[in-house]
Amino acid sequence: MGCHKENSCPNCTVAPGERGDDVYNEPREASTTLNALSEKSIGNDRETFDSLNLRPIKPFWRNLPHCNIHECITPDIHHQLHKGVFHDHLVNWCIHTLGTNEDTRNSEIDARFRALPPHSNLRHFSKGITTTSQWTGKEFKSMEKVFVGVLAGTSNPDVVEATRHVLDFIHYAQLEVHTTETLDLMDNSWG
């Protein structure tokens, strides 16, 4: 929709290799995107087109008045928080803090998930988590509910505390409606 490549931010002009860096980048503007696409189509200004990491397509929104498509693309809680921040980053980081041998780390985290007592409101990971290749949002949420407990006593207490702060943020971010208080709590969840 935003005419940008998959590894680009839909909202700002950050370079793909710099995503996650603590640096301000200008917001994407529909007019800039349309100008770069137009210039590219006639063979001019390839540098701007490339710097914006665009794809040469004709966007459906090009003739819609007052439309900045880049402001319309909202965060995707499942892919950005549950899969991205939690599973791809936090879980992997926490597992790596358990030791230097990958097999030992994986067996430790799996054993801890298997050791959780069954509960009617919690999913029981009877095979652990490290051998599962395909996850759903429901499974990510189930892991998030017990992950601090799984980590407790296995690694540095600072790792457990950091994990709790990230999970607090993820849970606050999922609220459908925010108040000043919940926004403050979400902001304060970073510790």
At residue 127, the pLDDT reads 87
Burial class (CB in 10 A: 0-12, 13-18, 19+), 2: buried
Neighbours of 21 (CB within 10 A): 10
CA 108 to CA 115: how far, in whole Å?
10
At residue 60, the pLDDT reads 93
For the chain, the structural domain boundaries read 16-72, 77-188
At residue 35, the pLDDT reads 93
At residue 164, the pLDDT reads 94
**DSSP for 88-151, written as a single string:** IIIIHHHHHTT-S-HHHHHHHHHHHHHHSPPBTTB---TT-STT-----HHHHHHHHHHHHHHH
Mean pLDDT by 10 residues, the chain (191 residues): 87 85 88 92 88 91 90 82 90 87 86 89 88 85 92 86 94 92 91 69
At residue 145, the pLDDT reads 92
CB 24 within 8 A of CB 41: no
Residues linked to residue 122 through DSSP beta bridges, in sequence order: 119
At residue 28, the pLDDT reads 92
At residue 137, the pLDDT reads 84
At residue 160, the pLDDT reads 92
- Global pTM value: 0.69
